[in-house]
Structure 1
Amino acid sequence: MRIKILLAAVLIWDLTCGLGFNVYADNMVRIELKKQALDLSNINDARIYVKDLRGSNRNLASSSSDEQIIYLKNYRDVQYFADIGIGSPPQHFIVVFDTGSSNLWVPSSRCFFSIACYLRSRYKSRLSNTHTKIGKSCKIPFGAGSVRGFFSQDDTKVGSAVIKQQVFTEVTREGYFTFLRAKFDGVLGLGFQGSDSRNVTPLWQNMMLQKIVSKSVFSFWLNRDPTSGIAGEILFGGMDWTHFRGIHTFVPVANNGYWEIEIGDFFIGNNSTGLCKDGCPAIVDTGISFIAGPSTILAQINHAIGAEGIVSSQCKKVVSSFGTPIWERLIQGLHPDKVCQKIGVCPYNQTLGVSHEESQKQTSGLCNFCEMVVFWIQVEIRKDRSKELALRYADQLCEKLPNPGGKSYINCDVFSLPHITFTIGNKSFPLSPDQYVIRVDGIQGVHCLSGFTALHVHPRRPLWVLGDAFLRAYHTVFDFGNLQIGFAESA
């Protein structure tokens, strides 16, 4: 088995040797991306969790959008990578360009106790003429695992551009299961400088400070042609007009140090879900293959596209035991936020986010399912459905809840599936079935998965992560100078 892994690593290295890079006279740096095809042996669910800046993960319902950090993810889901060089002469590394994190990290020659380090390129400071020792230790969390190491400083080559004395992390310990089968050496973060980056200036910001690029923007394009040798590109300092159609719709970035925007109503086919009509936060993340969203809506999507999820007995128990009282309270005009509390499923203070810890442990499961069921039944009432139809629909949705430990399989015949549409900046951004269905190779042929994965956050604080399944459809401009993100149809 070890021989096979080593051979795979050699193959990946050979693939990256032919990567093309260009620096343009108008101070733009173009990075061509390569793509690692997904298969059933290495695909794994993107694990995402929300953590309050003050260290508490409670009170999600009342937390403001600038109090949320999104730590992503099991990087085995990542498909797009490119080659960079660190040191003089350059030592080459395959890295993922990730807007969901801020740090640049690669394995260190001093990584002795993690098997994953021995299967990829390692940075050797003694071989670099421009290395500067820092030595301060650090830990970088990724939800499904973490890496540990220490800071160093060296010249970093991205394309033909050289960023002088970039601070990066030499990793000395990698999570065994998280990174052992990863198809890359490290990660180049394209997020903002902040507390999670230990106040290290990200590489792309140093490109501006060192006048390598003249404009404080970078654009991201993923090629939808599976036969092309170029999987996509990142262009630092501008955008390539040949990679999109029409004009970009720009929306402001939340002032919280992350590439977070607000999205509006969410549609399945022509039907509004109503969930985000008053706005929902969404992280734009190039480092995750899927689109992550709240389980409440994911169940409706899976039901509409025929995806097979898991049967949740607790959810069905809420429908069978409390469906009628929920219906009656909603018909009587009781505010949806108060229903589960009124019928005794949620403790009095839980919906306010201040209930006692022990009480939360005992009731949070049923309470969360109850709030989902309330939302589903409320949607059916708005459609003038009968109680029997509404409860039957809620029961069916319980069976379609996404499995947090896996993906939802769907039929590869996508022609009859509905479009899934996001509203951004009062404009519709539809995804066709062939755009949100992800095809993966298996021993018995091609399998198809839903491009949506569950993100478990309080139902009244729905959160989305727009990953590659969305970015393949829309050319994206990250405008740091004006703190905005723009989307246009990819060409």
Structure 2
Amino acid sequence: MHCLFWLLSVWILCLFGPNSQAQLIRVPMQFQASFMASRRQHRAGRSSLLAKYNVVGGQEVTTQNGGATETLDNRLNLEYAGHISIGTPGQPFHMLFDTGSANLWVPSAECSAKNLACQHHHRYNASASSSYVPDGRRFAMAYGTGSLSGRLAQDTVSIGQLVVRNQTFGMAMHEPGSTFVDTNFAGIVGLGFRAIAEQKIKPLFESMCDQSLVDECIFSFYLKRNGSERMGGELLFGGVDKSKFSGSLTYVPLTLPGYWQFPLDGVELGGTIISQNRQAIADTGTSLLAAPPREYLIINSLLGGLPTSNNEYLLNCSEIDKLPEIVFVIGGQRFGLQPRDYVMRAANDDGSTICLSAFTLMEADFWILGDVFIGRYYTAFDVAHRRIGFAPAA
């Protein structure tokens, strides 16, 4: 997915039902001062985004009583991750929470010693867990530089005090090239719907709902956008935290539960209507804003971007404050992003600082709203009512 520089830890808030006592569990974080992403890392992020949505080489392949708060580590404003444990006793993993996919997977202790991505992270040891149940089926998932593959298993998955029994997940034995070598996370917790899950496996949050572990079948993200923040934000399972946003949530129904896809009324840049009546997907697993070809060209042209051979647009760092607001119209409400939101600073190969447009190309007819948008707007993912809600983040 993306490459990062922060070292993490996590604190977890467990909120139980209205008649029970809340518990607060904190784990201190380690902070690394240098947090500017390299240009190579931004490119890797774009490649992973295209692979996730099966857009390769310009071709789109269509496929189709309580709660818990997971405090997230913010690495370079490129991705957000937190802790889970798997097995009995629990084996800890630092994971990417991704609404753009639906499978849970971690590296396996059985992976090859030559597999650097696997060796660089904590690995799940099935023989060390008394609650492990073999599944036998194989699984494979496509990423930017190859295919992640392994076998399925069942075990207990814990997040804070929430304990999910008999969760099916992937044990990765082969990880692609360099995609996961330098990542801060060991694996991925997919928070999409079962329709897009490999082998239609029940996603972790659906299991939480089915096992009555949360009061409400809803989770929400609050993401901080300052790369040097000690706390990267939080993921709340079981509801929303009204202290983390202002006003009311604007909810819109999902178009088709699979990805978190919803109607996008329009997009405006500096008063100019760029797009109307499109679809959009909210994806916490990408930092970018992916636009269809026409909108991608218009927006970056209006921003005065200089195109490169890598489908990037360079912006003049000294002129950033003069750039216009871009507005996404959702559910009849206007959600604006300022230049500081959609311009990404990166370290060039020669060590200089460059400014890149966060608008990347998606050879499709829908938008992807990643952390650039979700970091500005608190986002509620309502599984029970098949809807998504947005409000200005506090």
TM-score with structure 2 length normalisation?
Answer: 0.84
Alignment of 1:260-299 (within 5 A): 260-273=261-274, 275-276=275-276, 279-299=277-297
In structure 2, the partner of 1:224 is 225
In structure 2, the partner of 1:444 is 351
In structure 2, the partner of 1:25 is 16
**1:423 is matched with which residue: 296, 311, 329?**
329
**1:469 is matched with which residue: 362, 372, 377?**
372
Assess if the C-alpha contact under 8 Å between 2:133 and 2:155 holds in 1: yes
In structure 1, the partner of 2:99 is 99
Q: CA deviation at 1:30?
A: 9.1
Aligned-partner Cα distance in 2 for 1:195–1:421: 29
Aligned-partner Cα distance in 1 for 2:311–2:259: 27
Assess if the C-alpha contact under 8 Å between 1:46 and 1:77 holds in 2: no
The one-letter amino acid paired with 2:313 is S
Aligned-partner Cα distance in 2 for 1:120–1:454: 31
In structure 2, the partner of 1:166 is 167
In structure 2, the partner of 1:455 is 362
**CA separation of 1:212 and 1:226: change in aligned 2, threshold 3 A:** same
Q: Which structure shows the bigger proportion of residues in strand conformation? A: 2
Aligned-partner Cα distance in 2 for 1:148–1:490: 37
Assess if the C-alpha contact under 8 Å between 1:221 and 1:234 holds in 2: yes
Alignment of 1:153-302 (within 5 A): 153-194=154-195, 196-273=197-274, 275-276=275-276, 279-302=277-300
Unaligned runs of 5+ in 2: 65-74
In structure 2, the partner of 1:410 is 315
Aligned-partner Cα distance in 1 for 2:336–2:119: 43
Cα deviation code 1:166-198 (max 9, x no counterpart)? 111000001113222323211000000125331
Assess if the C-alpha contact under 8 Å between 1:38 and 1:79 holds in 2: no
Q: SS of 2:151's equivalent? A: strand
Please identify the structure whose Cα radius of gyration is greater.
1
Q: SS of 1:177's equivalent? A: coil
In structure 1, the partner of 2:71 is none
Q: CA deviation at 1:118?
A: 1.1
Aligned-partner Cα distance in 1 for 2:295–2:176: 32
In structure 2, the partner of 1:43 is 42
> Is 1:138 matched with 2:139?
yes
The one-letter amino acid paired with 1:38 is A
**CA separation of 1:489 and 1:77: change in aligned 2, threshold 3 A:** closer
Aligned-partner Cα distance in 2 for 1:77–1:437: 12
Assess if the C-alpha contact under 8 Å between 2:144 and 2:179 holds in 1: no
Q: CA deviation at 1:24?
A: 1.3
The one-letter amino acid paired with 2:156 is D
Q: SS of 2:296's equivalent? A: helix
Assess if the C-alpha contact under 8 Å between 1:98 and 1:189 holds in 2: yes
Aligned-partner Cα distance in 2 for 1:473–1:202: 27
Aligned-partner Cα distance in 1 for 2:142–2:233: 27
Cα deviation code 1:189-243 (max 9, x no counterpart)? 0000125331211111111111110101000111134443111111011111111
In structure 1, the partner of 2:118 is 117
Q: Which structure shows the bigger proportion of residues in helix conformation? A: 1
Aligned-partner Cα distance in 2 for 1:175–1:158: 27
Aligned residues: 364
Assess if the C-alpha contact under 8 Å between 1:76 and 1:178 holds in 2: no
Q: CA deviation at 1:51?
A: 5.6
The one-letter amino acid paired with 2:280 is A
Aligned-partner Cα distance in 1 for 2:98–2:359: 19
Q: SS of 1:179's equivalent? A: coil
Q: SS of 1:165's equivalent? A: strand
**CA separation of 1:490 and 1:194: change in aligned 2, threshold 3 A:** same
Q: CA deviation at 1:31?
A: 10
Q: CA deviation at 1:160?
A: 2.5
Aligned-partner Cα distance in 2 for 1:43–1:469: 13
Aligned-partner Cα distance in 2 for 1:162–1:30: 16
How big is the alpha-carbon RMSD for the aligned residues of Structure 1 and Structure 2? 2.9
Aligned-partner Cα distance in 1 for 2:24–2:174: 32
Q: SS of 1:176's equivalent? A: coil
**CA separation of 1:76 and 1:187: change in aligned 2, threshold 3 A:** farther
> Is 1:303 matched with 2:286?
no
Aligned-partner Cα distance in 1 for 2:332–2:148: 40
The one-letter amino acid paired with 1:43 is H
Alignment of 1:69-84 (within 5 A): 69=64, 78-84=78-84
The one-letter amino acid paired with 1:280 is R
Q: Which moved more, 1:423-432 or 1:255-264?
A: 255-264
Q: CA deviation at 1:29?
A: 9.8
Q: CA deviation at 1:264?
A: 1.5
**CA separation of 1:39 and 1:420: change in aligned 2, threshold 3 A:** same
Cα deviation code 1:447-470 (max 9, x no counterpart)? 32111111113xxxx210000111
Q: CA deviation at 1:42?
A: 2.8
Aligned-partner Cα distance in 2 for 1:89–1:78: 32
Assess if the C-alpha contact under 8 Å between 2:145 and 2:178 holds in 1: no
Q: SS of 1:423's equivalent? A: strand
Aligned-partner Cα distance in 1 for 2:284–2:36: 16
Aligned-partner Cα distance in 2 for 1:447–1:211: 49
% identical aligned pairs: 32
The one-letter amino acid paired with 2:259 is Y
Aligned-partner Cα distance in 1 for 2:222–2:26: 10
Q: CA deviation at 1:39?
A: 2.6
Q: CA deviation at 1:272?
A: 1.1
Q: CA deviation at 1:25?
A: 2.5
Aligned-partner Cα distance in 2 for 1:441–1:146: 29
Q: SS of 1:116's equivalent? A: helix
Q: SS of 2:89's equivalent? A: coil
Assess if the C-alpha contact under 8 Å between 1:441 and 1:447 holds in 2: yes
**CA separation of 1:463 and 1:105: change in aligned 2, threshold 3 A:** same
The one-letter amino acid paired with 2:371 is D
Aligned-partner Cα distance in 2 for 1:416–1:446: 19
The one-letter amino acid paired with 2:171 is E
Q: CA deviation at 1:133?
A: 1.2
Assess if the C-alpha contact under 8 Å between 1:42 and 1:76 holds in 2: no
The one-letter amino acid paired with 1:439 is R
Q: SS of 2:37's equivalent? A: coil
Q: CA deviation at 1:445?
A: 4.5
Unaligned runs of 5+ in 1: 1-7, 61-66, 70-74, 311-402
